[in-house]
Structure 1
Amino acid sequence: MLMAAALAAQPVSPEILEGKPAVDALVDNTVIIRAEGMPGETALHLRRDGTAVSYDAGPPRKTETVKWSLGDRGTLCIIGAAENKIPSGSDCAQVLLAADIVTLRLSAEDHGEGLDDLVTLQGRLVPGNPLNL
């Protein structure tokens, strides 16, 4: 009886999805990111057809349609809709999802840091497309 009470009292940690299962959970939903040092929020709505709409509150406000795909190691790769190329490592991010918290780990290559460094962004997963992107 005491053992059952002790087990029941333990907090249940949310399942952490990583790679393809995490990316699959993002499809048809919206990730909203409010990063430190950014003046507004950024949002990304992934569609099943391989396109996504990104929104940057700016300034200036900007909405853009991009293409997304699943990378070799279950990464989320994003390139501009007009780009006709195969995504490279700097176009992709590792995705982790715990409850509604999305963590994106991006290569720091584009930020002038060492290739082994990662830039980490955290956001919130919101069901559907509440921003009408």
Structure 2
Amino acid sequence: MVSLMVGEILKRTRPVNLDLKTIHFPITAIASILHRVSGVMLFVGIAILLYLLGVSLDGETGFLKAVSLADNIFIKFILWGILTAFAYHAIGGFRHILMDFGVIKETLESGTKTAKISFIITGILSVLALILVW
């Protein structure tokens, strides 16, 4: 009975922020969320890449079919997305390994700095992937 009353009091006095425009994540949180999202994209992307590999290994006609599929602008966009997700996931993973081994200190300042650096490196690799795909 007492816990129910405390719960009711907390519900009435707890502040509620319904304006989502006022919520700002720190760059380290954005980097962490994007690392997870890129992992999911890679999981799905591997299925696409394995399908293209299977088609290409089905003789000469299969290879020509895979090449014609890869010439589609939608497929090129998907391949570019997979390569960008791989680049970000690899850079983010390398960043975490350096933190785990103590090469980079686990402070807010170093976390913010390495997150920005990983975004810049991923941007450069993403442009290179765009050139490679197109």
Shared fold per TM-score greater than 0.5: no
Which category describes the TM-score, using the shorter chain as reference length? Answer: under 0.3
Q: TM-score, normalising length from structure 2?
A: 0.24
More strand by share: 1
TM-score (norm 1): 0.24
The structure that is helix-richer by fraction is: 2
Higher relative contact order (CA 8 A, sep 6+): 2
